[in-house]
Structure formats: C-alpha cells, structure tokens
Amino acid sequence: GENVEQHPSTLSVQEGDSAVIKCTYSDSASNYFPWYKQELGKGPQLIIDIRSNVGEKKDQRIAVTLNKTAKHFSLHITETQPEDSAVYFCAASNANFGNEKLTFGTGTRLTIIP
C-alpha cells in the first residue's frame, strides 16, 4: 500500500519568513495530493491540493509543487503570519475511481514566532 513520509516534524519560522514542508510517497499510482491544516481541537481543514497532471499550484500565500518522477511534493507558505501556526498534514490517494482512501503523513507542527 501507499506510504507517505513527511518532514520536518516540527518547524519554527519567524513571522514574515517562508515555511516549506516536504512529503514523499511510494505508490506511483497516486495522483491526488491534498494538504490539510489542523488546529488544536479541530478536524483537518483542506487548504490546497494538486493532481498529478499539474506541477505547481498557488493560492495566495500558499503553493504546492509536485515532482512525479521523484515522488515528492511540497507545501510552501510565504509571508507567514501567527495564524499559520498549526499542524500540517500531507496526504496521497489514487483518485482514478472516485474517492479512494487518503494516506496521511505524520504531520508537521509549524510555529510562527512573532
């Protein structure tokens, strides 16, 4: 089955700087890669996703890149703000047949230092 590794497990960034979180996946059939933000006491919130036919996607301060050959994808947050502090999870799935299961990474705790 799919295996997703995520690094780093913790990340502290000065407010205004950029943060990068990286994930690798094992199953070459995976074609859908969402990122979730989870705040304390809440469920994961979808913040951005990318499909395997696209190399990069951007939404305001958040961007995701995908390298299918190397089987890795990354989340980039620019101009970080205190409200970006949370745990971030990457995930992968094979969505060819609908809503296949998501395999999650182990999470990155991002702390923005004011």
Instruction: Please report, as ranges, the residues that interact with another protein according to CB under 8 A.
Output: 4, 6, 32, 34, 36, 41-46, 49, 89, 91, 93, 95, 98-107
Shortest Å, Cβ 108 to another protein:
10
Q: What is the 8-class DSSP label of residue 93?
A: B
How many residues are listed for the chain in this entry? 114
Shortest Å, Cβ 65 to another protein:
19
Kindly give, in sequence order, each residue whose CB lies less than 8 Å from that of residue 62, ignoring residues fewer than 6 positions away: 35, 47, 48, 75, 76, 77, 78
Shortest Å, Cβ 38 to another protein:
9
Smaller CB separation from another protein, 98 or 114:
98
Smaller CB separation from another protein, 27 or 78:
27
- 56-66: buried (b, 16+ CB within 10 Å) or exposed (e) per residue? eeeeeebbbbb
Shortest Å, Cβ 18 to another protein:
23
